[in-house]
Structure 1
């Protein structure tokens, strides 16, 4: 009898929940790019309620849901919310809200923060978002940027990893070459605490050691992992890519930030960089610093000789190699994620779309790029049950575009609106976010 009562209660509750939705909205007659495969579903209705995708159906069907709001998706394209998987909050001025406005205005609904600096508390930021006290994307964070000076002994490792666990960081970020015994101990203790380790490659060890991490940040790392001869040896590279593929590791190329570094060394390119349209969203102090010869790349690299070669052509050559290697990884279906590193002229939100274009220039298809900014990150973050594709039951984190990104990835910039946890942010709202950020400079 007790079981029967419980079951009846669940049925009654289910009916009540089903019909009591007051926030249901639909996107009508929209073309869906669901990303679970390379297809386009035309003339669909997407019904959203309680922050979830409730129904996807042909628009010719009569909807059984009462709609509080209908959005006309005719001639438009719906993609999953974008993932910025290599983000840094660099400047206290304007608060993290400033960056979130830039990210949301650019369709970014999930962020992985890659370091916690002394003046920051990213767990508090993540908790505020989760409790709806702060409007922001799904938020994941590593702990402090760990370098060899932080990890000298077994006691250091034990203390730091326990701190990561107790504070609740999602990742451990390594940003330096470590002695082999220290590195292996970090991996072992992190596994005991079930905290993934990711970051820069271990450049002084064989490739296999770096492949023990969850992800390698920056395809640039392979420039330093491999010797000059190895980078020119097609058989070596083919075998290396096979090894990377077999390991299951994920790579985050971050091409856009390396491009910025190269452009800082060339006077003509640097002049154009300073006038970039998106530079209007940089804080005045940041722009003044990065647009001057105090810029660290101008100061430390411009005109310098490295390995017997001028820095500019050397780095230009590295960049071409990086794009070619990224294409080799893509051809072998090595999982990749999109991230941009967000500093200097690499402006949060906008920079992710620049990264898309570099990936397309490197030879990735628009579908491969969307997959790297939706499906692969969701699998990596353990959120695939609720994120990463447009399917029923997933969270309603979506981006409505005016042009088809499968034809050209630059069309991800044609944003008509964003759904964040089921809340519609139309073009006017997104523009107001951008104006608020711009106003900080006046």
Structure 2
């Protein structure tokens, strides 16, 4: 009996020692911190991570009293908050797409549709339980269009379904009859369900501003007439109304630009040769590289006049992006991942387009850090590099406040307190590539 008790005690001590060994204290040494609460760089800092959180930020010259298990030499590098993809669509294997997101520094993602055959609640549970390597995950319910609301009673059925399933948001993606739309707003409000998605292009602007967030700057292009779009006074008045409503807006400029890249033969050839396509399943990428897709076979997109129109429309969307920003409308980076606009990589291009609209590098970076953290109600634990916040961080080789494209220069990612260096990130990408062969 004594031998058995001793064995049990030894086993318990072994388990405890294993648990202690797993909790490692990590220090980024001599790193340039991009805190994001203000437009600045705090040079040569020590950032200590313990229990999955930022426990201390101090000058690297200061002698530390903390026990450090892992030291990361970050001299000359820049530490930013983890990036947020606010308009993600699962198209293929979720484990592979999570790897693409994380390899690109995306530590949180908002999925914007549950398509047939998907179980987004199960995916969210997997992400939250850390059963698979994953970003923090939020999701809407089914991609709802006009045909899903066949009569007024269907509104309550749909709202109750969302409540029972526990989706984070209800997504609408079409113009609804006025009575249906108003009933949906009321019933969703009563059940504390937030509505997101597309605008109501057949109704005055005010109706579209009654939801939590609008995806696509293109939606505003479709609400207004050509004369209104070309009127500075009209657009400034609209910008003030949008600001007053408190709504969040995702420009999603990149996915609109993709139409031009598909439709223009020269740009299409370059797009099809993009080396990152190797991270997509071959059957999927072959279809999107082919002439079967609508953007490559429909003259509404491919004609010379059509291409010129699309370019002008993209420029208009950039102008309105800047106008809304100047008015104080909260903008969130989201790339609407489908087709050849790959998860992860697409967000960096979206940031470049937002920057090209006229925002500063700092204000652009806020659209993928501070602003979505406030939107997701996680600002107390994410969005900035600050003591007490979760250790969701990206280490960059170059300064993103000098050039927003430097968000691509990823040296490593810390996700949920786990450090993944460049070599491991490359291995994740290789795993995705090999699984698609």
TM-score (norm 1): 0.92
Among candidates 342, 345, 349, match of residue 347 of structure 1: 342
Q: Which residue of 2 aligns with 1:49?
A: 50
Task: Report Cα offsets for 1:92-121 as digits up to 9, x if no partner.
Answer: xxx200101100000000000000011111
Indicate the residue corresponding to 2:196 in structure 1. 198
Q: For 1:188-267, list aligned pairs within 5 A.
A: 188-267=186-265
Mapped to 2, the partners of 1:230 and 1:271 lie a distance apart of 36
| Alignment of 1:335 onto 2:336 | no
Q: How many Å separate the matches in 2 of 1:119 and 1:67?
A: 46
Q: How many residues align?
A: 418
- How far apart, CA to CA, are the structure 1 residues paired with 2:289 and 2:252? 21
Counterpart CA distance in 2 for 1:332 and 1:77 is 30
Q: Which whole-Å CA distance do the structure 2 matches of 1:288 and 1:131 have between them?
A: 34
Could you tell me which residue of structure 1 aligns to residue 366 of structure 2? 371
Match of 2:73 in 1: 72
Cα offset, 1:330, TM superposition: 1.5
Select which of 261, 276, 279 maps to 2:274.
Answer: 276
**Corresponding residue SS for 1:116:** coil
Gap regions ≥5 residues in structure 1: 1-18
Deviation of 1:378 (Å): 0.7
CA distance in 2, matches of 1:319, 1:20: 53
Between the aligned partners of 2:125 and 2:284, the Cα distance in structure 1 is 28
Q: Does 1:358 find its partner at 2:347?
A: no
Cα distance between partner residues in 1 of 2:112 and 2:185: 18
CA contact (8 A) 2:296 2:302 kept: no
Instruction: Name the SS of the counterpart of 1:90 in structure 2.
Output: coil
Name the CA distance, whole Å, in 2 between partners of 1:264 and 1:337. 25
Partner of residue 166 from structure 1, selected from 164, 167, 175: 164
**Structure 1 residues 67-146: aligned runs within 5 Å:** 67-91=68-92, 95-146=93-144
Q: Which residue of the other structure, out of 392, 402, 406, is the alignment partner of 1:407?
A: 402
Distance change >3 Å, CA 145–CA 230, structure 1 → 2: same
Note the C-alpha offset of 1:304: 6.6
Equivalent residues of 2:295, 2:301 under 8 A apart: no
1:295 to 293, 296, 311: 293
Paired with 2:127 and 2:280, the residues of 1 have a C-alpha distance of 24
**Which residue pairs with 2:418 in the alignment?**
423
Superposed CA deviations along residues 333-384 of structure 1, whole A, max 9, x for unmatched, are: 2100011011111011000001111111111111111111011101101111
Q: Where does residue 3 of structure 1 map in the other structure?
A: none
C-alpha offsets along residues 266-297 of structure 1, whole Å, 9 cap, x if unaligned? 11111111112322222211221111110221
8 Å contact kept, 1:22–1:68: no
Tell me if 1:33 matches 2:48.
no
The root-mean-square deviation of aligned C-alpha atoms, in Å, is 1.5
Q: Distance in 1 between matches of 2:162 and 2:150?
A: 17
1:149-172 residue CA offsets vs partner (Å, 9 max, x unmatched): 112333211111111111110000
